[in-house]
Amino acid sequence: MEPWPNTLVTLAYVYAKAGQMSEAFRIVDENSDADATRIALVYIAAADNERAFESLERAVDQRSPFLNELKVEPRYDPIRSDPRFGDLLRRLDLE
């Protein structure tokens, strides 16, 4: 039995935090059906804010149940100062 895509993408986050980007991105590429918020966290850990926001926009389109974490999840701290993050919170009524 293979692990669920979200679990594997969480492993990709750990790889990205450890600086092992090629392994992190390989896992993301192989699990593109994982929740887009989880994929965004990998890109945040990799300091790729453009791809992180692209993933968050996909999460909005997909109505991800994990979007309610945006305001409180510390892993989003690196992008909180970006105006796009504030705009996202406003659009989701999470201010």
Residue by residue, pLDDT tens for the chain (95 residues) are 456 899 999 999 999 999 999 999 999 999 999 999 999 999 999 999 999 999 999 999 999 999 999 999 999 999 999 999 999 999 999 97
Q: Cα separation of 21 and 15, whole Å?
A: 7
Domain that holds residue 53: 5-91
Cα-based torsion angle of the residue sequence 52, 91, 75, 51 in order, rounded to the nearest 10 degrees: 0
Q: Cα separation of 53 and 57, whole Å?
A: 6
pLDDT at 1: 41
Q: Cα separation of 90 and 54, whole Å?
A: 17
Name residue, tokens 């090629």: 22
Helix or strand run (H / E) with residue 88: helix 83-91
The domain tally of the chain equals 1
Q: What's this model's pTM, rounded to 2 decimal places?
A: 0.93
